[in-house]
Amino acid sequence: MSVEVVRDGERLRGSLSPLRRRLLRELREPASATALAARLGETRQRLNYHLRELEKSGLLELVETRQRRGVSERILRTTARAVVVAPEVLDDLTGAEQDRFAADTLLAAAARTVDEVARQRDGATAAGKRLLTFAIETEVGFARPADLERFATRLAEQIAELAAEFDSPANRRRYRLVVGGHPTAREDPAR
């Protein structure tokens, strides 16, 4: 799985400390506590404690056990390439503002999308099926702030027209369409 959505606040308990975040990044490729200790300049005992806690929370999984110098060495890796916290872990989003130009409205829509798609993906996986989704992403530059409002208005009109054309009265396969825009993030040279 490339993205895991955490819905249980207990799973996050202590998982976001700097050391544990580093361990999750390092364990995208399987490794042992001994190998990590050498790489990170930490003691194996200290790392073993944190690795056990991350494993209990379901963020790490055992890949294999190797015998090394008469000791069992556990090889672990992350269960997902990225972890996203479901909105209900922190708060309810139902009261989010409806101003289409408010950042909170976009954040609430994105959070609901993450939660709904993750639940449906989990259900489809359990049923042995593939979840049919689509994503469209692009960048556009605006010369003036007023162009942003004109663009959003025209986009809303065109989406309404397209939705009316394809909307089936039978309502068999309903899809939620979320469209939002935000400034392009500048590249962080430290990443």
Domains with residue ranges and CATH for the chain = 3-83 (1.10.10.10), 86-166 (no CATH)
pLDDT at position 75: 95
Model pLDDT for residues 131-172, shown as the tens digit of each residue: 999 999 999 999 999 999 999 999 999 999 999 999 887 767
The number of helices, as runs of H, and strands, as runs of E, in the chain is 7, 5
pLDDT at position 11: 60
Between the CA of residue 25 and those of 16, 29, 47, 160, what are the distances in Å?
Answer: 12, 9, 14, 42
Please list, in sequence order, all residues whose beta carbon lies within 8 angstroms of the beta carbon of residue 86, skipping any fewer than 6 positions away: 5, 6, 7, 111, 114, 115, 118
From CA 185, how far away is CA 191, in angstroms rounded? 13
pLDDT exceeds 50 at position 191:
no
Among residues 146, 157, 143, 11, the alpha carbon closest in space to that of 79 is found at 11
Model pLDDT for residues 30-83, shown as the tens digit of each residue: 999 999 999 999 999 999 999 998 888 888 999 999 988 888 899 999 988 777
Map tokens 């939705």 to a residue. Answer: 163
SS3 74: strand
Decide if 62 contacts 54 (C-beta within 8 A). no
pLDDT at position 97: 56
